[in-house]
Amino acid sequence: MKKLLLLILLLVFSCSDSDSNQDCCSIDPENQPLTYQAQTSLKDLASFPVGNIVSANKIQINNQFISTLLNDFNSITAENDMKMRNMFIGPNEYDFSDGDVIVSFAKENGIRVFGHALIWHSSIPDWLQNFNGTDSEFEGLVENYIKSTVLHFSQEKMIINGQEVSVVSGWDVVNEAFTNQADNAIFRQRIGSDYVEKCFIWAREADSDVKLFYNDYGLETNSNKVNQVLNMIDYFRNNNIPIDGVGLQMHIDHINPLLQQIEDNLQLFINKDVLIHFSELDITVNRNSDISTLTFERAESQENRYRDIVNLYLNVPITNRFGITLWGMRDIDSWLLNHHNNPNEYPLLFNTNYETKISHRGFAEGLQ
Ligand code: XIL
């Protein structure tokens, strides 16, 4: 009896000890479960690739990250390692080493890499930003960069379903072009307003097979931007400029935008018969910073939202489903903690201990 009492006391203490830790026992203060035991992995449930982001560093040293990644995902995108700032280190000088690590890892594990992103106003190397040659020299540098990068990453092949394919299956050629920042960035300023189409043409010249994407945020709500992208697709098609797909980043909230609005916008892209990638999915639950630990009520709302969004993706015809990529593994890994300056945001599928949150169950159920 005494022993039993001691055991109970020990249990109570070991839990209350780390009460401040949101992950203690994975329950919220009202004893509701925030995590669950996943039975089947997401990639096995899905009819399309399910992705997450990586860095060369993490896949070289973090075993827990690797096993979680390989269990649930079969597509990887470099969070930063394959952006211009990281690869284009000087005039006609490249550092592909981190991307190469990612490609070898993918090849070893038989999963695909998605290239992100060749041109983005937020990832310009300082030397290029300050380049003081002529505009035509500037354009030549960017053309060489796109061609060299796409060509380099077209070389590693693997066999999937009996077919030889490139490990890097696609690229975000241009990211977020329809913004004020992009209007003011050096690409438009120095190459001209047709720089986007030029980038797609250069990418295609370097690799005739790789899928070429335009990627942006707000495409689930911003009708102005949606129209610009739709018009761009029409213009490209009418002028034989290559484009295969559109990436909707899907940095969304558990409440906004309304599902109906996302569905309506998605339909406009489906109507264009392009590949569709939900390319950077995460779902915030604390935009107003009114909670300091994840509550069951928010976790459940997020679970429902993940289910709805994944289910919505099934509206995309099978042959146009490029996949859904999550932008981060654990809540604490998310870029949003910095971006929204809010340490108490919980946008993803895994908690600090790599346990599957109930949002993961929502994702899994959405696939079925
Ligand atoms: C973010 C990364 O997650 C951060 O680590 C980095 O500091 C900034 O970029 N849209 C995009 C991604 O297309 O490349 C961004 O990734 C998130 C917003």
Is 143 noted as a catalytic residue in this protein?
Answer: no
What one-letter code names the amino acid at 362?
G
Residues 111-142 have pLDDT tens digits of 999 999 999 999 999 999 999 999 999 999 99
Q: Which of 79, 176, 197, 355 is catalytic?
A: 176
Place of tokens 């599928």: 349
DSSP output for 56-112: HHHHHH-HHHHHHHHHH-SEEEESSTTSHHHHEEETTEE--HHHHHHHHHHHHHT-E
Nearest CA to ligand 1 atom 16: 79
185-241 per-position pLDDT tens digit: 999 999 999 999 999 999 999 999 999 999 999 999 989 999 999 999 999 999 999
Exactly one of 79, 197, 280, 303 is catalytic; name it: 280
- Which residue's C-alpha comes closest to atom 4 of ligand 1? 335
Please report, for the chain, the start and end positions of each structural domain, with discontinuous segments joined by +.
Answer: 38-367
Q: Is 176 an annotated catalytic residue? A: yes
Centre of ligand 1 to C-alpha 238, Å, is 32
Per-residue exposure over 299-324, b if at least 16 CB sit within 10 Å of its own CB, e if not: bbbbbbbbbbbbbbbeebeeebbbbb
> Whose CA is closest to 115, among 80, 91, 145?
80
pLDDT digits (tens, 9 = 90+) for 91-118: 999 999 999 999 999 999 999 999 999 9
Which among 335, 341, 345 is the best mutation to test ligand 1's pocket, defined by most ligand atoms within 8 Å of the CB? Answer: 335
CATH architecture, range 38-367: Alpha-Beta Barrel (3.20)
* pTM above threshold 0.85: yes
Given pLDDT bands bounded at 50, 70 and 90, which one contains residue 354?
Answer: very high
Find the residues whose C-beta lies inside 6 A of ligand 1: 79-80, 175, 249, 280, 335
The residues with which 164 forms a beta bridge, in sequence order, are 159
Give the contacts of 47 (CB within 8 A, at least 6 positions apart): 314, 318, 321, 367
